[in-house]
Structure 1
Amino acid sequence: MWWLGMFFVAYSVAINTSFVGLTLLALGDLRSYRRRLGFAAYDETFGEPLARGVSILMPAYNESATIIDSVQAMLSLRYPDFEVVVVDDGSKDDTAAKVIEAFDMVEVPLVVSRRIALEGEVRSAWLSRRGSSNLLLIRKDNGGKADSLNAGINAARKELVCMVDADSLLDPDSLLHVCRPFADDPDRVVAAGGVIRIANGSSVRHGRVVDVRMPRTWLPRVQVVEYLRAFLVGRAGWSAIRGLLIISGAFGVFRRDVLLAVDGLSTDTIGEDAELVVRIHRWIGDNDADARVVCISEPVAWTEAPEDRAVLRKQRRRWHRGLTEIFLRHKDMMFRPRYGVIGMVTLPWFLVFELLAPVVEVFGFVYFVVVVVILGLEEVGVVRTDLVDPTVLVLLLATSVVYAVLVTFASLIAEETSYRRYRGVPDLLVAMWAAIEENFGYRQLNAFWRLGGLVEGVRGTRHDWGEMQRKGFGEA
């Protein structure tokens, strides 16, 4: 039985060692990015009349609690040429009515392009009468988030398309930062993603996060450090070696011509944002294009994390099912040199350390429970075995937990030395405690949830997106 324990600890060490490598890559990329900030001339970009226009797409389904704050935040972004396209996907609540009333909108006879086929028919288009011609509301029959984004791509009038969730709030300069790679390298950059952070516990006024604080309840708290690790370390590290596989649907910018070339987002997968990026990488490889997909760690979109365990479970099952469907659909890209780092490194890594991780973690948890039971029986003299050494067991557990905590601490150090969004010693101590406590209960629950998503994806059961129960942004 000892060899099985050694396998589990070796797997844990391997995955965390790979995160150490990604951390070093991310820190190097972050340092280079911070050095360039002084010469970026964002104020000049803001006043540049020839800047590439951006259409911000906001798919909304039952987002009544946060939609007004989100739209206000989008309309007040610092960027010379942009429009906001809110796509109401047949909401059952008063999402559309709130937008129409708040921004004094009137229905207009706008004909929306059909370049990308839609499942939900577009019913009407609305513009504001306040002289704000850069706000457009599209009302359509329910077809899902991907279908809403495709409708927004069809209606977009700008060269670049920014996809954000209707429950997200962007920092004022986020659009300037995330669009910078398209200005610096216009011929090669085809997509760029920003960083998603948790707004729970923070104060929000007029669509802006004005006072960033760590949540005081445990579920949002551990999600904060989880997001920091995923974005500041994981995605920034992959971006540094041109191996970025995922751009979050909550905040990403794409060239519209590339979106049209790949026929928009797929409506028959539950992880439409990640699948889109993989399909763009396939398009790059199949066409031998010199193109890049990048992650920028400065632009921030704030989102509301689930505080209810049942809602979080559905979210994580859905995410992992989406990853499963991606591998089932694009498995032929692995170990294909034509797809570069994505095919030779990223996809194999995600297969071993992401897709199959919950299988190893759950069986590892079961293994240690069995070992503890055997040790207990041996202690009272019920059984007699030399297969399990308590010292080795404690060493394996300690190694796994300490390594995981150190990797998360590295992301906290990157945050503290670069951006310092969470100011003050109390918030830093709370974040450090969250990095420790997520290893006792949360990771195990998350592994079971993700395993359920893997099983659903393999079985091909009916999609269930679920509904996020939001409290709405407000003062902490």
Structure 2
Amino acid sequence: MVASAEAVAVVVIVTGLLQVGFYVFQLLFAAIALSTRPPVPRGATLWRRYSDQAPPISLLAPAFNEELTVVESVRSLLALHYPHFEVLLINDGSKDGTLARVIDAFGLQRVERYIDDRLEHANIRGFYANPALPRLLVIDKQNGGKADALNAGINCCRTPLFCAIDADSILETDALLRVVRPFIDDPNLTIAAGGTIRIANGCIIDSGRVVRIHLPRNFLALVQIMEYLRAFLMARLALGKMQVLTVISGAFGLFRRQEVVEVGGYSHGTVGEDMELVLKLHRHMRDLKRPYRIDFIAEPVCWTECPEDAKVLGRQRSRWQRGALECFAKHKSMAFNPRYGRIGFLGFGQILLVDVVGPLIEVFGYLLVPLLYALGLLALPWLLAFLAVTFTFGVFVSVATLILEEVQLRRFPRARDLAVLTFVAVVENFGYRQLSNFWRLQGWWQFVRKQQSWGTMTRKGFGSAASS
């Protein structure tokens, strides 16, 4: 029995150490990527530098029941600083007043529009535009889900690049000028690039702009700020530097239209359509032996509203977990396959370690290691090793990410905000982390049952962000 108990502890501790080792590796690469990046110019400098070179972009914003935030979001998109762009808002069969609010706010009328038919999507019911706002087109279609709506937008757009965003998000004014940089620097290689997602809860929003950064008062929102810092500033920046990025957020990603059409656009039947598209692009380019780059740029920022209710957040995290598992299962032949190079080993190794086995073994450890110690089947050093891996290293990774953010980007203007986030980086490991893994187990169960629903995602809207 003692040998079996120690074997359980070894599996849990070794898996935890592998995760921590990979996170430290990512921290180092993220630090290198930030410290060696070119100087970050101001927006006016970017405009002078890129205005003659910047390729046209179509912004695709799927909207389903977004009446609280859709008008502010469209206004912020139309006010972006970029030479040539159009905004395609895709109303995916909303059941609330999303379409009516946009039509009324921008004085839209029904128009005609050419539609490419290479990607499948639900029926389009009509197009709406205003001659005084030539950059805005609203596509009204039957409900088919986010992937379906994006495919409709891709078929309707007329530009070589498209930017997929969420209709409930706000891009910073110069975000497009920053995220397009890889397409200008390496136009023949770059096929996709992602930017940073930040939490807007607590911030002061005016006319579709984040005018002052404040931390929210809600604890769940504070914890998500730390999660987003780790996910974008550490993980995705590092994976992009290594050229093994496996996901570009559906809230803010720039793609070359030609390659996306070649792989069939966004896939139906998965809730991880953003991750699955990136994996399809990797597979497609590797199969054709064509050189390519998929990059992540830290500076362009998209602000989004995060859930502040535990039930809503739990549904979101379960869905994310389910999406990662669906993508891994669908493309498992790429895992550790020499044909796919570093993406097969590092990219899929990260998915396997963090998304597939990680939550299972961590929850397994929470339940069994303390129990085995209490029963006298494990010695004290095993328990201490488990606690060190679970809590000490978790705190280290979070605090190190926050330090990296402050040294390189300095997005939080007040010392008090950094103190609060440091406190959150510590306490999240004692309760929230365990709850998050429970939600991920729910996602595992939903994956096993082949559940496909998204669940209701309620929001306050940006107008109330300052008081959240």
Q: Same fold (TM over 0.5)?
A: yes
Contact 1:270 1:465 in 2 (8 A): yes
Q: Deviations over 1:395-423 (max 9, x none)?
A: 53134311111111121112111221111
Q: CA 1:65–1:179 in structure 2 vs 1: closer, same or farther (change >3 Å)?
A: same
State the alpha-carbon separation in 2 of the partners of residues 51 and 267 from structure 1.
Answer: 32
TM-score by length of 2: 0.95
Q: Which residue does 1:189 correspond to in 2? A: 190
Give the structure 1 partner of residue 47 of structure 2: 43
SS of equivalent residue, structure 1 residue 192: strand
For 1:38-437, what aligned pairs fall within 5 Å after superposition? 41-45=45-49, 47-48=51-52, 50-118=53-121, 120-129=122-131, 131-371=132-372, 373-374=374-375, 385=376, 387-390=377-380, 392-437=382-427
Contact persistence 2:54–2:180 (CA under 8 A): no
Conserved 8 A contact 2:125-2:140? yes
**Closer/same/farther in 2, CA of residues 471 and 334 from structure 1, 3 Å limit:** same
Letter paired with 2:447 = G
Decide whether the 8 Å contact of 2:328 with 2:351 is kept in 1: no
Q: Structure 1 stretch 106-115 or stretch 291-300: which is displaced more? A: 106-115
Structure 2 equivalent of residue 15 of structure 1: 19
Q: Tell me: CA distance 1:467–1:39, structure 2 relative to 1, closer, same or farther (3 Å).
A: closer
Letter in 1 for 2:17: V
Task: Give me the whole-angstrom Cα distance separating, in 2, the residues matched to 1:345 and 1:419.
Answer: 27
CA distance in structure 2 between the partners assigned to 1:32 and 1:233 by the alignment: 15
User: C-alpha separation between the residues in 2 aligned to 1:107 and 1:14?
Assistant: 56
Q: Which amino acid aligns with 1:311?
A: V
- Match of 2:315, as an amino acid? K
Asked whether the equivalents of residues 58 and 85 of structure 1 are also in contact (C-alpha less than 8 Å), the reply is yes
Cα deviations across residues 12-34 of structure 1 (Å, max 9, x unaligned)?
22211111111110111111224
Q: Secondary structure at the match of 1:343?
A: helix
CA contact (8 A) 1:46 1:79 kept: no
Give me the whole-angstrom Cα distance separating, in 2, the residues matched to 1:300 and 1:35.
17
Give the root-mean-square deviation of aligned CA atoms. 1.7
Q: Which amino acid aligns with 2:367?
A: V
CA contact 2:55–2:84 (8 Å) conserved in 1: yes
Give me the TM-score of the superposition, normalised by structure 1: 0.93
Work out the CA distance in 2 between the residues paired with 1:210 and 1:373.
53
Identify unmatched segments of 5+ residues in structure 2. none
| 1:31 maps to amino acid | S
1:453 and 2:443 are equivalent in the alignment? yes
Could you say what secondary structure the match of 1:117 adopts? coil
Question: How far, CA to CA, are the matches of 2:285 and 2:44 in structure 1?
Answer: 28
Any conservation in 1 of the 2:370–2:383 contact (CA below 8 Å)? no
Q: What letter is aligned with 1:465?
A: W
1:471 is the counterpart of 2:460: yes
Which residue identity does 2:454 align to in structure 1?
W
Give the partner amino acid of 1:298: E
Q: Deviations over 1:126-181 (max 9, x none)?
A: 1124x220100000000000000000001101110000001111111100000110
Aligned partners of 1:168 and 1:304 also within 8 Å: yes
Paired residue secondary structure (1:439): coil
Q: What amino acid maps onto 1:124 in structure 2?
A: G
Contact 1:112 1:154 in 2 (8 A): yes
User: Match of 2:111, as an amino acid?
Assistant: V
Residue 40 of structure 1 and its aligned partner are, at CA, apart by 11
Give the aligned residue type for 2:395: V
CA distance in 2, matches of 1:332, 1:133: 45
Decide whether the 8 Å contact of 2:195 with 2:253 is kept in 1. yes
SS in 1 for 2:428: helix
Larger mean CA deviation between 63-72 and 450-459 belongs to 450-459
**Aligned residue runs from structure 1 range 28-39, under 5 A:** 28-35=32-39, 37=41
1:237 is paired with a residue of what secondary structure?
A: helix
How many angstroms apart in 1 are the aligned matches of 2:222 and 2:403?
Answer: 17
One-letter identity of the residue aligned with 1:121: N
Change (3 A) 1:83 1:225: same
Q: Quick check: 1:45–1:176 contact (8 Å CA) kept in 2?
A: no
**Is the 1:324–1:458 contact (alpha carbons within 8 Å) kept by the matching residues of 2?**
no
Do 1:13 and 1:400's aligned partners in 2 also have CA atoms closer than 8 Å? no
Preserved CA contact (<8 Å) 1:169 1:301: yes
CA deviation profile, 1:251-287 (whole Å, cap 9, x unmatched): 0000011111111100111111100000000101111
Cα deviation digits, residues 48-95 of structure 1 (max 9, x gap): 2x5200000000000011111111111111100000000000100000
